[in-house]
């Protein structure tokens, strides 16, 4: 009432006489109405619009009665307009007090403070995808969008959806002045070359980079915050994948029975995904790890479309009887042999098991394929088979030689092998390991500053394996064009910078992540090669070449394999290494034996000798 008089008269006056009686009437009307309306029973800290509407209804009833007395009828000494102004003020003050209770007691102020401290981000790309992303992040508690970056200089300085558009060249300055933590790439259809140029530009700004999936993955036209993810592995690779030849992809798969060994591994599982998309009649999943088989089977069933039949089979490729049983039951048209032990240090420490799985497993699976009239048998090989310095590489080269020998004696089955380098994102890849080490604050562990590897993404490698197998004539050694080799230390630095962090070294002692050199592991090479010879032949596919590699004829190789198997069964490591060097003449290793069992037995023998 006091404030209503001020608004009417333009000055504050003392409440006395009829004005004071007006206050008493106001309280006398309001309290019963508010009690009946339940305003004093409501818990406003948890209330929303319904409670505020209840306040509005109660004050409206009060206002109607109050205005009837002091505006319609009139009371001497009380301006008539006060009868209208006072209920309006009462509504504002009562409503505001309840809203304040809700904000303060309901902890909404904490949410307000939390939203104010959100990391600030810029969206690179002011197109439709960028606009959708801004809309999706409007109520996000994770990030706060403070503007766009766009290459179109006509847009710079303009406002889009309430957000300013900046020049990407100003990003280093903006990162400091606006305290930017992340840049979100909202350009899913951008080609790889331009994407790499943008990433190089962003690296200087010390901000983390997140990206959206490809335009194919966003085909539904809706963008959400959950679509944001760390940079794709192929963004780190920096090369443009070649689109597959769909005729070659379908040749050995569509409407056929296809079998994949090692189906739960990195390469094997991706092969299964690619094969499933081409729609075979049946897909046989061969895996000795129960959990790995369960995982890939569940995943493929979830994405199953059409009439494809999935058959998960627990089996070891070393069990020839089981291999024959499976092949004679389903008569697969094509076998992709991905089952192998591929981790170099582990195989070096367990050489007999590595050779049994990689060589004898391949030999038995291939013999079962030949006996059961399988049309195509494709071995997944590795660049480590070229002039190997470790047991894993030597065993894979010997597996290749087994197939080459089989191809010369078993014309009914086309045996071929596909050799390629490291795949990014596999179970043994450095990329997941480096990411985890960066999350933990470092250091990134690297064996040698000059270590260099060829890289390819798993989907691209798997597609090329399928296409190469379709071109096989028998005994072919296919080599995938892996592009330019990558220095691992450069990959590590790139990952650090694109995480918004800095490298810590002698020149930058206050950096964030340090690279720690641990030394080469047993059998590890600085450089990998894809060819033993120097004269690869081109094929109809631009990324697949055919190598000519010498091999031992089956008549000689068979006896040597039998002798090797005897040595493997008794785990005579020194004899095994000598036989591997004899069979794979390019195999060069140091004289140190690091087999765990052998080293433990040697240690025990020395202890007993000293005791005696």
Distance of alpha carbon 160 from alpha carbon 135, whole angstroms = 11
**3-class secondary-structure state, position 257:** strand
Contact 203, 502 (CB under 8 A): no
Distance of CA 39 to the CA centre of its chain: 53
State the DSSP string of 286-328.
Answer: EES-HHHHHHHHHHHHHT--TTPEEEEEE--TT-HHHHHHHHH
Task: Take residue 508 and report the two structure tokens written for it.
Answer: 């930058």
**Angle subtended at Cα 322 by Cα 294 and Cα 359, rounded to the nearest 5 degrees:** 90
Phi–psi pair at 426, nearest 5 degrees: -75, 175
Residue 90 to residues 2, 93, 103, 207, Cα–Cα distance (Å): 12, 5, 20, 51
Q: Which is nearest to 38 in space by CA: 27, 26, 25, 50?
A: 50
Judged on CB neighbours under 10 Å (0-12, 13-18, 19+), 75 is: middle
Task: Take residue 318 and report the two structure tokens written for it.
Answer: 């070393």
Distance of alpha carbon 125 from alpha carbon 131, whole angstroms = 9
Q: 480: which DSSP letter?
A: E
Distance of CA 502 to the CA centre of its chain: 22
Distance of CA 489 to the CA centre of its chain: 21
Phi–psi pair at 326, nearest 5 degrees: -65, -45
* Distance between first and last Cα of the chain: 108
Distance of alpha carbon 102 from alpha carbon 46, whole angstroms = 6
Those residues whose C-beta lies under 8 Å from the C-beta of residue 160, and which sit 6 or more positions away, are 126, 131, 148
Packing angle, helices 266-278 and 458-470, rounded to 10 = 60
Choice among 282, 342, 384, 525 that is catalytic: 384
Judge whether 120 counts as a catalytic residue: no
Distance of CA 171 to the CA centre of its chain: 26
Contact 341, 361 (CB under 8 A): no
**3-class secondary-structure state, position 584:** coil
Task: Take residue 365 and report the two structure tokens written for it.
Answer: 């699976």
Task: Take residue 82 and report the two structure tokens written for it.
Answer: 């006060």
Task: Take residue 493 and report the two structure tokens written for it.
Answer: 């630095």
Q: Which is nearest to 486 in space by CA: 458, 456, 523, 445?
A: 456
Q: Is the peptide bond before 443 cis (omega within 30 degrees of 0)?
A: yes
Residue 175: in which H helix or E strand, if any?
A: helix 171-177
Residues annotated catalytic, as ranges: 384
């Amino acid at each position: 009432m006091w404030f209503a008089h001020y608004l009417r008269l333009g000055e504050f006056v003392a409440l006395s006489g009829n004005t004071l009686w007006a206050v008493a009437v106001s309280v006398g009307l309001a309290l019963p109405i508010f009690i009946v309306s339940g305003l004093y029973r409501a818990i406003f800290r948890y209330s929303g619009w319904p409670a505020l509407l209840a306040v509005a209804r109660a004050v409206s009833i009060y206002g109607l009665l109050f205005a009837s007395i002091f505006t319609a009828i009139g009371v001497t000494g009380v301006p008539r307009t006060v009868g209208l102004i006072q209920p309006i003020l009462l509504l504002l003050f009562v409503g505001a007090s309840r809203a304040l209770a809700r904000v303060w007691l309901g902890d909404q102020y904490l949410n307000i403070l939390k939203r104010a401290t959100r990391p600030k981000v810029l969206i690179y790309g002011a197109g439709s995808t960028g606009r959708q992303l801004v809309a999706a992040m409007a109520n996000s508690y994770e990030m706060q969008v403070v503007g766009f970056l766009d290459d179109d200089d006509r847009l710079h300085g303009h406002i889009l959806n309430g957000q300013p558009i900046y020049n990407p060249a100003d990003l280093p300055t903006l990162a400091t002045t606006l305290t930017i933590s992340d840049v979100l790439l909202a350009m899913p259809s951008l080609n790889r070359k331009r994407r790499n140029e943008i990433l190089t530009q962003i690296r200087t700004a010390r901000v983390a980079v997140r990206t959206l999936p490809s335009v194919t993955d966003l085909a539904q036209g809706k963008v959400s915050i959950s679509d944001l993810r760390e940079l794709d592995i192929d963004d780190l690779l920096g090369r443009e994948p070649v689109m597959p030849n769909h005729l070659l992809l379908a040749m050995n798969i569509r409407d056929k029975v296809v079998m994949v060994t090692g189906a739960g591994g990195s390469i094997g599982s991706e092969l299964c995904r690619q094969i499933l998309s081409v729609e075979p009649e049946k897909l046989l999943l061969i895996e000795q790890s129960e959990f790995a088989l369960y995982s890939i089977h569940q995943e493929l069933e979830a994405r199953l479309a059409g009439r494809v039949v999935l058959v998960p089979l627990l089996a070891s490729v070393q069990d020839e009887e089981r291999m024959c049983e499976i092949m004679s039951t389903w008569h697969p048209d094509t076998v992709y042999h991905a089952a192998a032990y591929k981790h170099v240090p582990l195989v070096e420490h367990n050489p007999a098991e590595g050779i049994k799985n990689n060589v004898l497993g391949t030999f038995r699976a291939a013999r079962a394929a030949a006996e059961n009239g399988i049309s195509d048998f494709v071995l997944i090989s590795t660049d480590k088979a070229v002039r190997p310095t470790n047991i894993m590489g030597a065993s894979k080269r010997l597996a290749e030689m087994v197939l080459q020998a089989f191809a010369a004696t078993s014309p009914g089955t086309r045996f071929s092998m596909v050799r390629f380098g490291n795949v990014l994102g596999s179970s043994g890849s450095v990329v997941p390991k480096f990411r985890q080490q960066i999350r933990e604050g470092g250091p990134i562990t690297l064996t040698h500053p000059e270590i260099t590897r060829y890289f390819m993404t798993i989907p691209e490698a798997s597609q090329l394996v399928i296409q190469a197998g379709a071109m096989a004539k028998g005994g072919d050694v296919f080599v995938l064009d892996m592009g330019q080799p990558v220095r691992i230390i450069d990959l590590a630095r790139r990952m650090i910078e694109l995480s918004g962090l800095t490298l810590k070294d002698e020149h930058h002692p206050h950096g964030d992540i340090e690279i720690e050199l641990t030394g080469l592991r047993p059998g590890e090479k600085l450089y990998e090669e894809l060819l033993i010879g120097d004269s690869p032949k081109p094929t109809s596919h631009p990324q697949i070449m055919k190598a000519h590699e010498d091999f031992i004829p089956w008549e000689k190789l068979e006896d040597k394999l039998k002798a090797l198997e005897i040595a493997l069964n008794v785990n005579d490591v020194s004899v095994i290494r000598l036989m591997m060097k004899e069979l794979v003449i390019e195999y060069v290793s140091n004289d140190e034996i690091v087999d765990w069992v052998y080293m433990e037995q040697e240690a025990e023998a020395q202890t007993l000798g000293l005791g005696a």
